Structure 1
Amino acid sequence: MVDEQEKPHAIFVAYPLQGHLIPSVHLAIILASRGFTITFINTHFIHQQTSKSEPDNDHDIFARVRQSGLDIRYLTVSDGLPLEFDRSLNHDQFMAALLHVFSAHVEEAVAKIVKSEQAVNCLIADTFFVWPSKTAKKFGLKYISFWTEPALVFALYYHVDLLRKNCHFDCYDTREDTIYYIPGVREINPTDTTSYLQETDTSSVCHQIIFNAFKDVRGADFVLCNTVQELESDTISALQAEMPFYAVGPIFPTGFTKSTVATSLWSESDCTEWLKTKPHGSVLYVSFGSYAHVTKNDLEQIAQGLLLSKVSFLWVLRADIVSSDDVDPLPAGFKEEMGDRAMIVPWCCQIQVLAHPAIGGFLTHCGWNSTLESIWCEVPLLCFPLYTDQFTNRKLVVDDWKVGINLIDKKPIKREEVSEKINRLMSGKSGDNFKKEIKEVKKKLENAVTDGSSHKNFDQFIRDLKNSIQNKSGDIGVQKHNSLSNGS
């Protein structure tokens, strides 16, 4: 039997994209603070990028955390590609490496850890990996799947066969009417499903990852989801009827302050001094995340719309936002015209910016981390989804929770509409309504992680996991006893 006081030891494998890495790092810290030993596996490439962004960072990103007494070990493995390979520019090749090659490197690392002195009990891995349940079974570990997106997106992918059966996906003549038959989802328009579920070509490497990952997750012993029960209650209840599914979000760094663990892939500019010069709630924060790309035309229309709006703005503009080959995609004369009412930086600490009192709105791609962070800081959202889960996140933000608006209601994007929507979000009665609604949603997040649903779900997960580990240990003990009794 595993002693009640013995610490569970989990190997944690994060998906090597910044949007997945951030909640994974903080989940690892939360688990370690609850008595777990964690061995965290990162890729060589992600480690190299975070080390470049914080040059004083140790070879071990958890070194500072460990000084506070938390037992988190750290190692890196290859994702199957050379360090100098441009993963952003060659997205499909990168995904193919994760699909076909990465698992071999992880399995080799897991084998070494399992053979080490301290017992390992479980494997925690991002749901988008296609191999965790098989690897966990091979080494006799409990598999905990970590879903970093909303439960609604999980439900859509989990029931992809229903979408096929009803010809809303992967059919010769795909239906465009409302989807009403997904358990726990009242109804959803096809245009509000993820970008991959809207595509007609389903042979891509990303589709193969999704199909295989959602077969693999059926072998998970537990699923942890970075969402809140009260925000997606029907969807979560339906999933809980299928599997041990725990809503434990929002997963943020302790105190919602800058993390002591390096999770940024780029050096962060300090925007605090500039923000201090701006009135309360007057600045629009603009960022399209760490990975998605924007077309040059859309970027130019947004830029011109920002100028037309007369609103102060802080714009995070990655060097590769259009492509790695176009490092200055802004219209000619834009920076001169914006003057001191705006600041453009290549990257920043987003939670620090959103928490600043000068910020009054967020023009966002609707990544799930960005969505949760914005709600936590009570900053209404102007939604411009680009790909993957962002279209579904937009539905939750605009249609379900009423804490934001769409940047564009029709294509193509026009600067006049951009300007009008910015002013609608940032000022007047309309802006006040969004602020009122977002305060109510923020309360649900806050209550959930203090002593509410997420706190209780986390406690329940730990109890269930420990019981599962103990029962397994007991089963092994019985098997050994029977073998001895039989004289073998």
Structure 2
Amino acid sequence: MDSISNPHAILVCYPLQGHVIPTTHLAIKLAQKGFTITFINTESTHYQITQKKGKTETFSNVYLGHQDLDIRYMIVSDGLPVNFDRSLNHDQFMASLLHVFSAHVEEALVKTMESKMDPPVNCLIADSFFVFPGKLAKKYGLLYISFWTETALVFTLYYHLHLLKLHGHFGCIDLSEDPIDYIPGVKSIKPKDLMSYLQETDTTSMCHQIIFNAFKDVRNADFILCNTILELESETISALQIEKPFYAIGPIFPPEFTNSGVSTSMWFESECTHWLDMQQHATVMYVSFGSYAHITKNELLEIAYGLCLSKVGFIWVIRPDIVSSDDPNPLPEDFESEICGGGGGRGLVVPWCCQKRVLAHSAIGGFLTHCGWNSILEAIWCEVPMLCYPLLTDQFTNRKLVVDDWKIGLNLCDKKPITKVEISKKIHNFMYGKLSDECRNVIKKVKKTFGNALSADGSSERNLDNFIGKVCK
């Protein structure tokens, strides 16, 4: 398709918290660069973000630098009722995204195009995990820009699934345990460091179907934007650029890191600042396993007792559905009263919080994390080393980058089942040991790389400008 002079992009947001955050800030970043954006959210995501905020629209307060950005907003159904429990009925939710959601997006796209808006729609930007954007873009004569919210390493492993199958590392009953050293731009990776879906022998799940179809579709993309940093994944990105126009434009943060001016949280955020203000510098461990993955009741209890034994101060985010929506209070009855002491003790348990604000607080000395990519980027920006406990999907691969490649974190435990004694020792050593000091020194250097990439002449800013230059002539 020919390049375009006045870009108006339909931007479709994937309806999971870890995708909503970078997609929202990508919309703002592109609008600041002159794009008109029509942002499509699902009714369910919209409701979760706005119900506690008293707002009707995600971008209602976006006036950055006294600039009124041209961001328009639409909500569509994902095919399920708004109040449907998507966490408890995960497979049904994924099936709807796989089979139903595209029809609602197409209806919104056609409605927007037929409204004769100025400027006319000429781009479709969609999360790479969607299975339909390439087909829709081709059908309506639009440029297709795929937005990948995770690392370039994870992208290239999915992109080269055919090679993993060929060498017996995926889709086999007996998976090979040999190192994977044949993926372009990847020196070597162990099978245990692959994404969780690629370690499974049963590849018939809804998530597998989404992965297969999404990465067939992404081959139709005209451009790929990635929320990573060139300097951290240079070899992988160079190899991908041979396949596709691939631009590393991360980390995609708001101009004011802890105050974005736009709502992205799908849960009510508890206020933690007052409690943190009472704690000493770098003495508190922040514990969060993200917005999506679940842990077993036994894992949660061992972590709880391990935190008790460690004698380390902590803030622990425990989503009401972290074990199951049917078990909203999975902690022992006496845990909060004994450890948290009504808010005056050495621990604070909250259902959700503003993670960036917590990580940026001077009292935080470490982060026990599931290794979600947003969490890693935010921890690096705040120079907080990580104690890694991956649970699902890309988190195992991210752990490899954090611990083995970049040396900015440590493993909580290498083998399951985890025990409270092991957890206690690891937490204490992580907060006060020599290895933790080494991680802190290295993470300062990585943070500097981030800052350089985001500067006016940095790699991420140049890549974004180069991408826009290719789209707009």
Question: Could you tell me how far apart the structure 1 residues matched to 2:397 and 2:416 are?
Answer: 18
Measured in 1, the distance between the counterparts of 2:3 and 2:319 equals 50
Residue in 2 aligned with 1:191? 192
Name the structure 2 match of 1:463: 469
Residue pairs, 1:377-388, within 5 angstroms: 377-388=382-393
Q: Is the 8 A contact 1:53 1:268 kept in 2?
A: no
1:359 aligns with one of 359, 364, 378: 364
Q: What is the one-letter code of the residue matched to 1:135?
A: L
AA at the equivalent of 1:215? K
Query: SS in structure 2 opposite 1:313?
Result: strand
Q: How does 1:272-351 map to 2 (within 5 A)?
A: 272-338=273-339, 339=341, 340-351=345-356
For residues 3 and 464 of structure 1, the distance between their equivalents in structure 2, rounded to whole angstroms, comes to 7
What is the alpha-carbon distance in structure 2 between the residues aligned to residue 332 and residue 268 of structure 1?
Answer: 23
Q: Does 1:270 align with 2:275?
A: no
Corresponding residue for 2:83?
84
Partner of 1:254: helix, strand, or coil? coil
Residue 83 of structure 1: CA displacement? 1.1
The match for 1:64 is: 61
* Pairing 1:472-487 to 2, within 5 Å after superposition: none
Structure 1 residues without counterparts, runs of 5 or longer: 468-488
1:160-218, CA deviations, whole angstroms, 9 ceiling, x for partnerless residues?
00000111100132211111100000000111000000000001111111011001000
Following superposition, the deviation at residue 260 of structure 1 comes to 1.8
Report % sequence identity: 65
Q: Could you tell me whether the CA contact under 8 Å between 1:398 and 1:405 is conserved in 2?
A: yes
Distance 2:52 2:229 in 1: 31
**Are positions 1:443 and 2:448 aligned together?**
yes
Off by >3 Å, runs of 4+ in structure 1: 1-4
Paired letter, 1:403: I
Residue 432 (structure 1) shift: 1.2
Q: Which of 399, 420, 423 does residue 428 from structure 2 map onto?
A: 423
Q: Deviations over 1:67-110 (max 9, x none)?
A: 84100000100000011210001111100000000000000100
Contact 1:95 1:205 (C-alpha < 8 Å) held by counterparts: yes
Preserved CA contact (<8 Å) 2:145 2:223: yes
Residues in 2 aligned to 1:22 and 1:172: alpha-carbon distance in whole angstroms: 37
1:145 aligns with 2:146: yes
Question: Is the contact made by 1:53 and 1:267 (CA closer than 8 Å) also made in structure 2?
Answer: yes
| Residue 44 (structure 1) aligns with | 43
RMSD: 1.4
* 3-state SS of paired residue (1:256): coil
CA drift of 1:420 comes to 1.1
Tell me the equivalent position of 2:17.
18
Q: Partner letter of residue 65 of structure 1?
A: V
Secondary structure of the equivalent of 2:68?
coil
Shift of 1:2: 9.9
Aligned-partner residue type, residue 45 of structure 2: I
In 1, distance between residues paired with 2:237 and 2:52?
37
Question: What is the aligned partner in structure 1 of residue 161 from structure 2?
Answer: 160
Answer yes or no: is the 8 Å Cα contact 2:6–2:472 preserved in 1: no
Q: Is the 2:3–2:472 contact (alpha carbons within 8 Å) kept by the matching residues of 1?
A: no
3-state secondary structure, aligned to 1:224: strand
- Measure the CA separation in 1 of the matches of 2:303 and 2:60: 41
| Partner amino acid, structure 2, of 1:19 | G
Q: Which of 156-165 and 418-427 deviates more?
A: 418-427
Question: What is the distance in 2 between the residues matched to 1:34 and 1:265?
Answer: 27
Would you say the 8 A contact 1:125–1:132 is kept in 2? yes
* Native 8 Å contact 1:52 1:266 kept in 2: no
1:453 aligns to what? 459
Q: Distance in 1 between matches of 2:133 and 2:430?
A: 43
Q: Distance in 2 between matches of 1:430 and 1:199?
A: 33
Q: 3-state SS of the aligned residue for 1:343?
A: strand
Between structure 1 and structure 2, the one with the greater Rg is 1
Tell me the alpha carbon deviations over residues 16-50 of structure 1, each in whole angstroms, 9 at most, x when there is no partner.
Answer: 00100100000000000011100000000000111
Contact 2:315/2:348 (CA < 8 Å) preserved in 1?
yes
Alignment of 1:103-182 (within 5 A): 103-117=102-116, 118=118, 119-182=120-183
Larger mean CA deviation between 251-260 and 10-19 belongs to: 251-260
- Structure 2 counterpart of 1:364, one-letter code: T
Aligned 1:203-282 pairs, distance under 5 A: 203-282=204-283
Q: SS where residue 215 of structure 1 aligns? A: helix
Match of 1:373 among 372, 378, 402: 378
**8 A Cα contact 1:258 1:349, kept in partner:** no
CA contact (8 A) 1:53 1:265 kept: no
Q: What SS class does the counterpart of residue 255 from structure 1 fall into?
A: coil
Query: Deviation per CA, 1:107-160, whole angstroms, max 9, x where unpaired?
Result: 010011112222111000000001001101111110000000000000000000
TM, length-normalised to structure 1: 0.93
Amino acid of the structure 2 residue aligned with 1:61: T
Which residue in 1 is equivalent to 2:395?
390
Greater displacement, 44-53 / 372-381: 44-53
Q: Distance in 1 between matches of 2:357 and 2:411?
A: 24
Q: Is contact 2:3–2:470 with CA below 8 Å preserved after alignment?
A: no
Is the partner of 2:61 in helix, strand or coil? Answer: helix
Partner of 1:484: none
Once the two structures are overlaid, the 10-residue window that deviates more, 115-124 or 368-377, is 115-124
Instruction: Pick closer, same or farther for the CA change 1:368–1:47 going to 2, 3 Å.
Output: same
Q: Secondary structure at the match of 1:405?
A: strand
Tell whether the 8 Å contact from 1:13 to 1:126 is kept in structure 2 after alignment.
Answer: yes
* Larger proportion of helix: 1
Match for residue 100 of structure 2? 101
How many pairs align?
464
Partner Cα separation in structure 2 for residue 379 and residue 267 of structure 1: 24
Counterpart residue number, 1:481: none
